[in-house]
Amino acid sequence: MTETSHRPSGDPAAVPSPSANEPYLVVDELTVRFPTADGLVQAVTDLSYTLEQGKTLGIVGESGSGKSVSSMAIMGLHDYKRTRMSGSIRVGGQEVVGLSSEKMRTIRGGDVAMIFQDPLTSLHPFYSVGSQIAEAYTAHNKASKSQARAKAIEMLDRVGIPQPKSRVDDYPHQFSGGMRQRAMIAMALVNDPKLLIADEPTTALDVTVQAQILDLLQELQRDFNSAIIIITHDLGVVAEMADDVLVMYGGRAVEKGPTREILTHPEMPYTWGLLSSVPDVSADTDARLIPIPGNPPSLLDPPTGCPFHPRCAHRSKVPGDLCRTELPELVTGNRPGHTKRCHLANPDSIYEAEVLPEIAPDLVEVVAEDATPAETGTGLFGPDDEAADGGSVAPENR
The pLDDT confidence band at residue 278, using thresholds 50, 70 and 90, is confident
280 CB-side CA count, 13 A: 18
More confident residue, 396 or 238: 238
| pLDDT tens per residue, range 367-394 | 555 444 444 343 444 444 444 344 433 3
Q: Cα–Cα distance between 146 and 194 in angstroms, integer?
A: 26
Q: Cα–Cα distance between 83 and 106 in angstroms, integer?
A: 22
More confident residue, 340 or 19: 340
Per the prediction, the chain carries an average pLDDT of 84
Report the pLDDT value the prediction gives residue 261, as an integer from 0 to 100: 93
Report the pLDDT value the prediction gives residue 359, as an integer from 0 to 100: 75
The pLDDT confidence band at residue 395, using thresholds 50, 70 and 90, is very low
Tell me what the mean pLDDT of segment 111-123 comes to: 87
Report the pLDDT value the prediction gives residue 158, as an integer from 0 to 100: 86
Tell me what the mean pLDDT of segment 176-202 comes to: 89
Tell whether the model's pLDDT for residue 132 goes beyond 50: yes
The pLDDT confidence band at residue 109, using thresholds 50, 70 and 90, is confident
| pLDDT tens per residue, range 286-316 | 666 778 899 999 999 999 999 999 999 999 9
Q: Roughly how many angstroms between the first and final C-alpha of the chain, as a whole number?
A: 41
Q: Percent of the chain scored above 90 by pLDDT? A: 56
Cβ contact 244:57 at 8 Å? yes
Report the pLDDT value the prediction gives residue 396, as an integer from 0 to 100: 38
Report the pLDDT value the prediction gives residue 248, as an integer from 0 to 100: 96
Give the dihedral sign, CA 3/103/246/337: negative
Tell whether the model's pLDDT for residue 50 goes beyond 80: yes
Tell whether the model's pLDDT for residue 216 goes beyond 90: no
Q: Cα–Cα distance between 38 and 322 in angstroms, integer?
A: 29
Tell me what the mean pLDDT of segment 182-186 comes to: 89
Report the pLDDT value the prediction gives residue 283, as an integer from 0 to 100: 59
Report the pLDDT value the prediction gives residue 285, as an integer from 0 to 100: 60
Phi, psi angle pair for 257, to nearest 5°: 165, 180
Tell whether the model's pLDDT for residue 9 goes beyond 60: no
Q: How far is CA 100 from CA 46, 76, 258, in A?
A: 23, 9, 35
Burial per residue of 21-42, b for 16 or more beta-carbon CB atoms within 10 angstroms, e otherwise: eebbbbbeebbbbbeeeeeebb
More confident residue, 147 or 216: 147
Report the pLDDT value the prediction gives residue 397, as an integer from 0 to 100: 37
Q: Cα–Cα distance between 238 and 398 in angstroms, integer?
A: 12
Cβ contact 253:247 at 8 Å? yes
- SS3 of the chain: the string is CCCECCCCCCCHHHCCCCCCCCCCEEEEEEEEEEEECCEEEEEEEEEEEEECCCCEEEEECCCCCCHHHHHHHHHCCCCHHHCEEEEEEEECCEECCCCCHHHHHHHECCCEEEECCCHHHHCCCCCCHHHHHHHHHHCCCCCCHHHHHHHHHHHHHHCCCCCHHHHCCCCHHHCCHHHHHHHHHHHHHCCCCCEEEEECCCCCCCHHHHHHHHHHHHHHHHHHCCEEEEEECCHHHHHHHCCEEEEEECCEEEEEEEHHHHHHCCCCHHHHHHHHCCCCCCCCCCCCCCCCCCCCCCCCCCCCCCCCHHHCCCHHHCCCCHHHHCCCCEEECCCCCCEEECCCCCHHHHHHHHHHHHHCHHHHHHHHCCCCHHHHCCCCCCHHHECCCCCCECCCCC
Question: Would the pTM of this model clear 0.95, i.e. be above it?
Answer: no
- Angle, nearest 10°, between helix axes 129-138 and 177-189? 10
Bridge partners of residue 51, in order along the sequence: 25
The pLDDT confidence band at residue 10, using thresholds 50, 70 and 90, is very low
Report the pLDDT value the prediction gives residue 213, as an integer from 0 to 100: 82
Between β-strands 330-332 and 195-199, what pairing exists: parallel, antiparallel or unpaired? unpaired
Tell whether the model's pLDDT for residue 242 goes beyond 50: yes
Nearest to 371 by CA among 389, 383, 358, 359: 383
Q: Cα–Cα distance between 320 and 197 in angstroms, integer?
A: 42
Report the pLDDT value the prediction gives residue 201, as an integer from 0 to 100: 84
More confident residue, 385 or 185: 185
The pLDDT confidence band at residue 250, using thresholds 50, 70 and 90, is very high
More confident residue, 217 or 363: 217
Bridge partners of residue 232, in order along the sequence: 60
Tell whether the model's pLDDT for residue 200 goes beyond 60: yes
Cβ contact 343:306 at 8 Å? yes
The pLDDT confidence band at residue 366, using thresholds 50, 70 and 90, is low
Tell me what the mean pLDDT of segment 23-46 comes to: 96
The pLDDT confidence band at residue 235, using thresholds 50, 70 and 90, is confident
Bridge partners of residue 340, in order along the sequence: 255, 331
